[in-house]
Structure 1
């Protein structure tokens, strides 16, 4: 078996031309996105010297997702997904170009960054669920789990590569270069979308004048009446809110418990990214066995256990290892939940289902940040890690003991 055959056997989603075009475009674009994330954060701190105002940018960027995700699902189910994604990705490129130009001309202000963050938040409200629900149209149900795991792998590889490149470029050439490169990186996605030969399933409704609120209500009723989707979405909601706040807890833990500096914090986050990347590739390589609940529940338990272990120790290298393992199990849980939801969702409801997924996964970020930040400030980041891990274990155990048989109906 040659290398190409081995790759196709381990990663069968790559045999689909449409997915390859989409995936390689994402690979380039996500590196640019992480470069902009790092550059934008440092630029805000340079302009304001305020951690609160930096946090406000993040909150504003997720606010539209929290408020409008449900309505976005109705839009996604009414229009071809490829064209929607083409619109959002092109708009992201324009937004990055504006940020880069304002920065290069040295006229950028905090409020302009905030306005662009809000604009990107509205785009993300459509873009995230549209991209998630588009994947099954590219690969089908059989290879869906493999495709989702490979998407997670690309995201985490970019999280390792992008910040490193950004750090070098900011020091040598300034912020604007990072933003211009991010704008250019969307070209790869746009070209791929133009070459893709499927639009994505757009169901035809009997009544073309169906109101948005009626469509929204139908989608929520569908989720409520589909136990496997409802239960999995609730697991995502609980764990995302209470157990996936590493961006808040790790810097505080690094400073107050480990007594380390910013460079060491960067290495810890990279360790978590490496663990998540390996976890995603591992899940992709075993995805041919099908969607198994053991990945979902194992991911939830593992995430909780390693968070508790982080909280009860104060060794720097051990923290790096435990964060890598946390990243591994977190990606296993997220990818398994995503696959479980999509495989069990009817085509005509998939956009609305994935919009709810985006709401409980990304939209709760401001709530989770407030929870973890408050808990960490009052009791310490080590206690916050322990509590977060306990919540993950308890809720996963609750679903396993009291809901598993009637919802999933298979052996773990």
Structure 2
């Protein structure tokens, strides 16, 4: 048996073997996230059907992610104050209602761009409060030692669903239209709600809460903590720039399929699935590492930049799918290590706010990034948009690595120990 096979067997799925609560939640999410990715694909295709405009896809991204800009930091404070399991149950219930409304307006033929944008924004609000709650709940389910592995497995689950959901959605849209995707997603939320109801409270890892935290003061404390921590400052800065300019797949992939490759909804689903499969492979590889590190984080950012530049001139579906697979690997290597570095670098009473700040950096500026990417694609096609994404990623990680090297011993690999 090869060393890789041994690592995959003994280390990759250790959080699932050791923690019952995490195992139950993981399987509930397996069903729910597949439905969510079906809805993501259906939303983008519905907007293209209603408008035919690349800029309209950028506006959809703006509506979906502007709630992270408005509420992202406050959501972290809420996660530090509330019982995270109850918080996630409320947000998942709200997302279910949004899916039902999308199904109704689509199946009755009353969907307009304005209605779709409003419902997308409501869904974004539920997600803005759900994400820090879910990340904090993961920490409670597995504890600090297993957190890097659980974060990588969560990324694997998320991106494995990105394989299954879009592939199914492409077929469903071609056969029955977008409305059925919203119906399926609404039912999929029941799986995670049942899983949350079965978690054992006594097995959750104890964390220090901050019930007295207020929104403004709580955010000020979190920002002050980041300013005093050089590693977190650099990680947040790189994540903000690369994510805003580069990680706009929800805009670029549908435009790549429809305008550059001309492959229709089935091709769109397969291209999305190729990216998701790569991200799944990247997550499984990341899960074999015992520690989160800057080196893995920087490798992911560099790989993404090089591959985005390679993808820019491609006009054939097969090489585009292969490159999107490789992009997915780099994407997960980058995001999983960033997430773990942030969580393990935070004390208990600030963890929700650190996650909120991370999500703000990751998707809080996505409304601007989505509009920028839509504008670039409108001016120069997906070729220009991918080229700008690649150059930006390489320049950002290059500058960040240089600045970091000046403050540390050359060649040092920073491994973050959990803080309590």
Task: Check whether TM > 0.5.
Answer: yes
How far does the alpha carbon of each residue in 1:94-135 deviate from its partner, in whole angstroms, 9 at most, with x for none? 222233344445555544433322221211111112112221
Q: 1:230 maps to which residue?
A: 233
Which of 24, 27, 34 aligns to 1:24? It is 27
Q: Which moved more, 1:6-15 or 1:321-330?
A: 6-15
User: Residue in 1 aligned with 2:418?
Assistant: none
1:294 shift after superposition: 2.0
Correspondence list, 1:46-195, <5 A:
46-47=49-50, 52-195=55-198
- Residue equivalent to 2:417: none
Contact 2:174/2:265 (8 A) holds in 1: no
Mapping of residues 291-310 of structure 1, within 5 Å: 291-310=292-311
Contact 1:306 1:322 in 2 (8 A): yes
**CA distance in 1: counterparts of 2:66 and 2:354, whole angstroms:** 19
Question: Are the counterparts in 2 of residues 295 and 332 from structure 1 also a CA contact under 8 Å?
Answer: yes
Matched-pair contact (CA < 8 Å) for 1:78–1:203: no
Over 3 Å counting, the alpha-carbon distance change for 1:171 and 1:255 in structure 2 is closer
Aligned to 2:382: 381
In 2, are the aligned partners of 1:201 and 1:347 still within 8 Å (CA)? no
The DSSP-based 3-state class of the residue aligned with 2:412 is: coil
For 2:144, what is the secondary structure of its paired residue? coil
Structure 2, gaps ≥5 residues long? 415-420
For the residue of structure 1 that corresponds to 2:200, the secondary structure is coil
1:250 Cα offset (Å): 4.2
- 3-state DSSP class of the match of 1:325? helix
Secondary structure at the aligned position of 1:141 is classed as helix
The equivalent of 1:13 in structure 2 is 15
The residue that corresponds to 1:351 in the other structure is: 352
| Aligned match of 1:410 | 412
**Displacement of 1:374 after TM fit?**
3.1
Please, what is the CA RMSD of the aligned residues?
Answer: 2.9
- In the TM superposition, residue 392 of structure 1 has moved relative to its aligned partner by 1.3
**C-alpha separation in 2, matches of 1:99 and 1:253:** 25
Distance 1:60 1:193 in 2: 28
TM-score normalised to the size of structure 2? 0.87
Tell whether the 8 Å contact from 2:50 to 2:113 is kept in structure 1 after alignment. Answer: yes
| 2:203 pairs with 1:203 | no
How far residue 76 of structure 1 moved from its aligned partner, in angstroms, is 1.1
Which among 254, 271, 275 is matched to residue 272 of structure 1?
275
Distance 1:159 1:150 in 2: 14
> Does the C-alpha gap of structure 1 residues 105 and 312 become closer, same or farther in structure 2, counting only changes over 3 Å?
closer
Cα shift at 1:217: 0.8
CA distance in 2, matches of 1:310, 1:52: 21
The number of aligned residues is 407
Q: What are the superposed Cα offsets for residues 247-277 of structure 1, whole Å, 9 maximum, x if unpaired? A: 4344545566656655444433322222111
Whole-Å separation in 2 of the counterparts to 1:20 and 1:82: 15
Tell me the CA shift for residue 47 of structure 1. Answer: 4.7
| Contact 1:245/1:372 (8 A) holds in 2 | yes
Answer whether contact 2:61 2:251 (CA < 8 A) is retained.
no
Query: 1:326 matched to which residue of 2?
Result: 327
The answer to whether residue 219 in structure 2 is matched with residue 216 in structure 1 is yes
Question: TM-score if structure 1 supplies the norm length?
Answer: 0.88
For 1:232-247, list aligned pairs within 5 A. Answer: 232-247=235-250
Cα separation, 1, equivalents of 2:144 and 2:207: 17
The change in CA–CA distance for 1:307 and 1:93 in structure 2 (over 3 A counts) is: same
Q: Within 1, Cα distance between the matches of 2:45 and 2:254? A: 15
Structure 2 CA distance for partners of 1:49 and 1:313, relative to 1, 3 Å:
closer
Specify the SS of the correspondent of 1:290.
Answer: coil
Contact 2:62 2:371 in 1 (8 A): no
Q: Relative to 1, partners in 2 of residues 1:379 and 1:23: Cα closer, same or farther, differing over 3 Å?
A: same
Matched, 1:281 2:284: yes
3-state SS of paired residue (2:304): helix
Q: Flag the 1:333–1:54 CA change in 2: closer, same or farther, 3 A.
A: closer
Partner of 2:400: 399
Q: Aligned in 2, Cα 1:50/1:126: closer, same or farther, shift over 3 Å?
A: same
Q: What displacement does 1:283 show?
A: 1.2
